[in-house]
């Protein structure tokens, strides 16, 4: 069974950089499973910066919805696979399925997939529940969904980190 590492933290806290460093320690080739898509110019620039930073040893796989299936399909092809990020995946699922319970079933499918993998997996997610209570229903629903998904993934992971101001703290 592959090692599963989960990394969470706030925006611009160093999550992705830590994940990339942990993956790179495993050697090449490396898989980067991207859940986001370039819906606007600013997001396209972010994606381009991330790709440039990672360099040529990474193969990018874009999958906004079928995360568990994509991991299973690419298992064994890489020294490690990095998923960035869970919160974008949850957003995609919530807009696609319009039902938090169905989204959590996808999270369950993901965590069940962990035990079948041979390739080490590093998963990045945002911690969105440390701020104020959002003013609208959808934002509260998403915050709660992300918190529950992070909790489930962290419980199933072998190692869990949180990053603050570029500094990682190992929790598990």
Structure tokens at 163: 């990053």
**Residue ranges in the chain assigned as alpha helix (H):** 15-24, 41-54, 67-74, 86-97, 100-114, 137-156
**Distance in angstroms (rounded) separating the CA atoms of residues 94 and 136:** 15
With 0-12 / 13-18 / 19 or more C-beta atoms within 10 angstroms meaning exposed / middle / buried, residue 19 is buried
Q: How do 167-170 and 159-164 pair as beta strands?
A: antiparallel
Instruction: Reply yes or no on whether 50 is catalytic.
Output: yes
**Whether the bond into 85 is cis, omega within 30 of 0:** yes
Catalytic residue chosen out of the listed positions 26, 50, 143, 152: 50
**Distance in angstroms (rounded) separating the CA atoms of residues 96 and 92:** 6
**Distance in angstroms (rounded) separating the CA atoms of residues 68 and 43:** 24
Which residues are catalytically annotated?
A: 50
């Amino acid at each position: 069974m592959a090692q599963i590492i989960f990394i969470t933290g706030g925006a611009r806290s160093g999550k992705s950089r830590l994940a990339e460093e942990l993956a790179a320690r495993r050697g090449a080739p490396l898989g980067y499973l991207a859940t986001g898509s370039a819906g606007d110019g600013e997001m396209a620039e972010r994606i381009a910066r991330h790709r440039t930073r990672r360099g040529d040893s990474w193969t990018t796989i874009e999958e906004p919805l079928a995360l568990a299936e994509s991991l299973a399909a690419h298992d064994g092809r890489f020294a490690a696979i990095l998923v960035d990020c869970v919160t974008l995946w949850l957003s995609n699922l919530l807009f696609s399925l319009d039902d938090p319970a169905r989204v959590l079933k996808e999270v369950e499918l993901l965590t069940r997939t962990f035990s079948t993998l041979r390739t080490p997996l590093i998963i990045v997610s945002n911690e969105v529940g440390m701020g104020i209570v959002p003013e609208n229903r959808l934002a509260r629903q998403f915050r709660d969904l992300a918190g529950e998904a992070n909790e489930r993934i962290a419980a199933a992971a072998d190692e869990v980190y949180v990053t603050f101001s570029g500094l990682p703290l190992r929790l598990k």
